[in-house]
Amino acid sequence: MADLNTPVRYLKGIGEKKALALNKLGVFSLYDLISFFPRKYEDRSRICPIAAAPEGEGVCIRAMVADVPRLSRIRLGMDLVKLRAVDDSGSVDITFFNQSYAKDNLHRGESYNFFGRMEFKGGRRCMANPVYEPVERAGQVTGRIVPVYRLSSGLNQRSIMQAVRQGLDCCLETLPDALPEDVRRRCRLAQVRYAYENIHFPPDFEALELARRRLIFEELFVLSCALGSMHRQRSRDEGIRLRPVDMDRFWASLPFRPTQAQLRAVGQAAEDMCSGAVMNRLIQGDVGSGKTLAAAALIWLCAENGYMSAFMAPTEILAQQHYDTLSSMLSPFGLRVGKLTGSMGAREKRLIKAQLQKGELDLIIGTHALFSQDVEYSKLALVVTDEQHRFGVNQRSALISKGGRPHVLVMSATPIPRTLALIIYGDLDISVIDQLPPGRQKVDTFAVDESYRARLNGFIRKQVQEGRQVFVVCPMVEENEELNIKLKSAQEHAAQLSALFPDMKVACIHGKMKAKDKDDTMSAFVAGDIQILVATTVIEVGVDVPNASLMIVENADRFGLSQLHQLRGRVGRGQHKSYCILVSDNDSPEVKSRLNIMCKTGDGFKISEEDLRLRGPGDFFGSRQHGLPEMHVADLGADVNVLQQAQEESRRLLESDPGLQLPEHRILRDKVEQLYKANSAGFN
Ligand code: ADP
Ligand code: MG
């Protein structure tokens, strides 16, 4: 019996080279090895009659070798073993390239399981390089469900499989169970040993599902416990206690009435800030739901109390835009608003910093320059940030060291279903603005294929001639992308449009550009100097260009619904009638129905519910926008029920044992602490 921390090198068959190859996959210890879950599975459990094997698919057959295998050299360094195998239904020609040992392993008159891809050539069935096992000893690589692992060079499936098998055999017994027994029973989850065995080597799909469910639950449960205990910890932290102020004085100054949802969110946040504890609240609301206004109300509340606020934006342009809007909302009340960004001149910066230190400003808006070392605040009560800037631990302590313990308000424009929000943002209190201000125009949305290209180009021309601007979004081309999928790359597409519309200014913006160049291009678009902006998803973040009226998304099937919704939110922000065109040549019914949802509804929450239903939460977890640790769950695919249960159970547990102090929760507490440690930079 070996220890879970034993290096993989200890295993039979794992020499120095293979150990290094495993290290490359993040596998160092035996525990890492057995936690290295398969990427997918191949069903080799069903034996198919030769005559019934479909062409081009991997099948498992059981057949007798009908003649003596023949070895021949085709050319230098290339040899070939050929044989014929038969079953009751027919025969197949089997060939092995450069596996001369097959000649000695396979014997005439004996039966084997073969797994390989069945091909038809000249009216005959054939199979090249199948894996095989004698029938009496079958059950390792044929006749069962076989795991498929991620590989690195120097490893093949068989060697990983054998290593995992050994790993399980020598340490499964010592594997501790992090789930409390009563939770496991109540949720009808498999035991940890069963789960680890069957996620690798399931005898059938039922066992696999039981294993998968248990592991997903555990991961989400540990995460929920971590978030939940942070939440508990924080809500005990003492914060600046504000005096309640009648908010109607602020609302009355507006040219319109706040929505019920805005009032509710502001009310909840104001209550936090007057409670004496530190606020950590997320305001979630669709694009255009009026989050900035809600923030403005709270900034005003702080100013009425004699405190200042800081508003952090992810880019210079956004800082500028927020500066403009917030100044116009707040200066009528005499609030003093300043701006601090990296690109400002040294003199200007010095001036602002001096004002901050002396407490001469009520609101400062800026990029992360706001938290550089030499900035000092006087009487800072509120920090408003974008969801992309959920603070890491380091930033948080930088903030705290800047005096006081400011309240934190995070704003998110990504509507996500409640269940998921509770997991992803479990450490924050959540307010939802689920209502748009009255009189919003709907963005007309259409899903089209390539046959509309000419009309689409005509439509671009028409919009630009009317003085409008156009966004075109192309999917990010991944470096490891298979070459046979034809994707529009932003740069190529921009060149084409540029040739097509020589009288217009076309520009391209993509992830590999320097931040400064991106900002410059974006500013030129905001200023109206560019008519057509071709981009990868970098424009998702909330830049406001009221004159843009047309959003075209190329290869729209490559985007998640929530992402498409974010993109669509870039238009329809001014008084002009706006359109969103989703271009895709993929005519699978699944894609069509997804894109159709976009055409039918403009409600971000509804769309994200659909996204969750259709694609599972993997996409939400996978997008890594939330600052959470990377999870296996995204690979395994969780379902909504498991998500909900894990959340409920973690809450129940923390209520009965808030610090996870009980001895039976020790393993769980260790896991929660590991999660903190491993993620102390990004995970707040
Ligand atoms: P978000 O930040 O949620 O995308 P904003 O706060 O930028 O939304 O608001 C979008 C637009 O709607 C702004 O022009 C804002 O002035 C306007 N707005 C906000 N609240 C209301 C309201 N209650 N009634 C009418 N217009 C509103
Ligand atoms: Mg906004």
Residue 199's pLDDT band (cuts 50, 70, 90)? very high
Atom 26 of ligand 1, nearest CA residue: 437
Residue 645 CA to residue 639 CA, distance in Å, equals: 10
Q: For 96-103, what is the mean pLDDT?
A: 90
Pocket-testing residue among 284, 287, 293, ligand 1, by greatest number of atoms within 8 A of Cβ: 293
Q: How far is the CA of 679 from the centre of ligand 2 (A)?
A: 29
Atom 11 of ligand 1, nearest CA residue: 288
The CB of 412 under 6 Å from ligand 1? The reply is no
- Cβ neighbours for 248, distance < 8 A, ≥ 6 positions apart: none
Ligand nearest to the CA of 318: 2
Q: Is 429 helix (H, G, I), strand (E, B) or coil?
A: strand
Residue 440 one-letter amino acid: R
Q: Are 297 and 247 in contact (CB under 8 A)?
A: yes
pLDDT attached to residue 641: 80
Question: Is the pLDDT score of 480 beyond 50?
Answer: no
pLDDT attached to residue 542: 64
| Poorest-pLDDT segment among 88-97, 146-155, 356-365, 530-539 | 530-539
Q: Comparing C-alpha atoms, which of 15, 42, 9 is closest to residue 149?
A: 42
SS (H, E, C) 215-266: HHHHHHHHHHHHHHHHHHHHHHCECCCCCCCCCHHHHCCCCCCCCHHHHHHH
Q: For 254-276, what is the mean pLDDT?
A: 94
Ligand nearest to the CA of 573: 1
Q: For 37-63, what is the mean pLDDT?
A: 90
Residue 486 vs residues 245, 251, 432, 483, 580: alpha-carbon distances, Å: 59, 52, 40, 7, 22
Q: Are 549 and 473 in contact (CB under 8 A)?
A: no
Atom 17 of ligand 1, nearest CA residue: 290
Q: How far is the CA of 605 from the centre of ligand 1 (A)?
A: 18
| Poorest-pLDDT segment among 163-172, 630-639, 649-658 | 630-639
The CB of 258 under 6 Å from ligand 1? The reply is yes
Question: Is the pLDDT score of 482 beyond 60?
Answer: no
The CB of 290 under 6 Å from ligand 1? The reply is yes
Q: Are 288 and 413 in contact (CB under 8 A)?
A: no
pLDDT digits (tens, 9 = 90+) for 459-479: 999 999 999 999 999 987 654
Most confident of the ranges 90-104, 297-311, 602-616, 636-650 = 297-311
Torsion angles phi and psi, residue 681, rounded to 5: -80, -55
* Minimum-distance ligand 1 atom for the alpha carbon of 329: 16
Residue 684's pLDDT band (cuts 50, 70, 90)? very low
Residue 187 CA to residue 1 CA, distance in Å, equals: 31
pLDDT attached to residue 354: 94
Helices (H), 274-315: 291-304
- Higher confidence at residue 438 or residue 364? 364
Tokens, residue 223 = 């995460």
The CB of 560 under 6 Å from ligand 1? The reply is no
Q: How far is the CA of 329 from the centre of ligand 1 (A)?
A: 11
Q: What is the bridge-based pairing of β-strands 429-433 and 280-285?
A: parallel
Kindly report the CA angle at 460 between 455 and 466, in degrees rounded to 5?
Answer: 125
CA 294, 295, 300, 305 dihedral sign is positive
pLDDT digits (tens, 9 = 90+) for 201-229: 999 999 999 999 999 999 889 988 988 88
Q: Are 451 and 518 in contact (CB under 8 A)?
A: no
Q: For 488-508, what is the mean pLDDT?
A: 91
Residue 193 CA to residue 177 CA, distance in Å, equals: 8
* Minimum-distance ligand 1 atom for the alpha carbon of 289: 3
pLDDT attached to residue 234: 74
Q: How far is the CA of 433 from the centre of ligand 2 (A)?
A: 12
Q: How far is the CA of 437 from the centre of ligand 1 (A)?
A: 7
Torsion angles phi and psi, residue 412, rounded to 5: -130, 130
The CB of 291 under 6 Å from ligand 1? The reply is yes
Residue 56's pLDDT band (cuts 50, 70, 90)? confident
Indicate the burial class of 280 (C-beta count within 10 angstroms; 0-12, 13-18, 19 or more). Answer: buried
Residue 535 CA to residue 528 CA, distance in Å, equals: 16
* Minimum-distance ligand 1 atom for the alpha carbon of 439: 25
Q: Up-side HSE of residue 88: CA atoms within 13 Å toward CB? A: 3
The CB of 437 under 6 Å from ligand 1? The reply is yes
Residue 285 CA to residue 291 CA, distance in Å, equals: 7
Residue 180 CA to residue 432 CA, distance in Å, equals: 33
Residue 503 Cα to chain centre, angstroms:
39
Largest CA distance in the chain: 96
Q: How far is the CA of 386 from the centre of ligand 2 (A)?
A: 10
The CB of 293 under 6 Å from ligand 1? The reply is yes
Q: Are 148 and 40 in contact (CB under 8 A)?
A: yes
Q: For 373-400, what is the mean pLDDT?
A: 73
Tokens, residue 322 = 């927020």
pLDDT attached to residue 484: 47
Q: What is the CA radius of gyration of the chain?
A: 30
Ligand nearest to the CA of 289: 1
Q: Is 322 helix (H, G, I), strand (E, B) or coil?
A: helix
Q: How far is the CA of 630 from the centre of ligand 2 (A)?
A: 28
Residue 292's pLDDT band (cuts 50, 70, 90)? very high
Kindly report the length of the chain.
684
Q: How far is the CA of 617 from the centre of ligand 2 (A)?
A: 25
The CB of 328 under 6 Å from ligand 1? The reply is no
Residue 682's pLDDT band (cuts 50, 70, 90)? very low
Question: Is the pLDDT score of 127 beyond 70?
Answer: yes
Ligand nearest to the CA of 543: 2
- Cβ neighbours for 139, distance < 8 A, ≥ 6 positions apart: 133
Ligand nearest to the CA of 288: 1
The CB of 288 under 6 Å from ligand 1? The reply is yes
Backbone torsion region of residue 123, taken as left when φ is above 0, otherwise alpha when ψ lies between -120 and 50, otherwise beta: left
Q: How far is the CA of 250 from the centre of ligand 1 (A)?
A: 15
Neighbours of 124 (CB within 10 A): 12
Pocket-testing residue among 292, 322, 571, ligand 1, by greatest number of atoms within 8 A of Cβ: 292
* Minimum-distance ligand 1 atom for the alpha carbon of 257: 23
Indicate the burial class of 127 (C-beta count within 10 angstroms; 0-12, 13-18, 19 or more). Answer: buried
Atom 24 of ligand 1, nearest CA residue: 437
* Minimum-distance ligand 1 atom for the alpha carbon of 292: 6
| Poorest-pLDDT segment among 25-29, 395-399, 614-618 | 395-399
Q: Are 526 and 466 in contact (CB under 8 A)?
A: no
- What are the counts of helices (DSSP H) followed by strands (DSSP E) for the chain? 24, 22
Which DSSP symbol is given to 278?
A: P
Q: Comparing C-alpha atoms, which of 188, 207, 199 is closest to residue 164?
A: 199
Which DSSP symbol is given to 451?
A: G
* Minimum-distance ligand 1 atom for the alpha carbon of 294: 6
Q: What average pLDDT does the chain have?
A: 87
The CB of 321 under 6 Å from ligand 1? The reply is no
pLDDT attached to residue 215: 92
Q: Comparing C-alpha atoms, which of 86, 91, 129, 144 is closest to residue 111?
A: 86
Instruction: List the beta bridge partners of residue 282.
Output: 410, 430
SS (H, E, C) 481-518: CCCCCCCCCHHHHHHHHHHHCCCCCEEEECCCCCHHHH
Question: Is the pLDDT score of 239 beyond 60?
Answer: yes
Neighbours of 39 (CB within 10 A): 11
Question: Is the pLDDT score of 574 beyond 90?
Answer: no
pLDDT digits (tens, 9 = 90+) for 136-177: 888 888 888 999 998 888 888 889 999 999 999 988 888 999
pLDDT attached to residue 479: 47
* Minimum-distance ligand 1 atom for the alpha carbon of 544: 7
The CB of 256 under 6 Å from ligand 1? The reply is yes
Q: Is 548 helix (H, G, I), strand (E, B) or coil?
A: strand
Block residue for tokens 């047309």? 550
Q: Comparing C-alpha atoms, which of 328, 366, 360 is closest to residue 344?
A: 366
pLDDT attached to residue 250: 94
pLDDT attached to residue 463: 96
Ligand nearest to the CA of 439: 1
Kindly report the CA angle at 447 between 523 and 419, in degrees rounded to 5?
Answer: 80
Q: What is the bridge-based pairing of β-strands 308-312 and 506-509?
A: unpaired
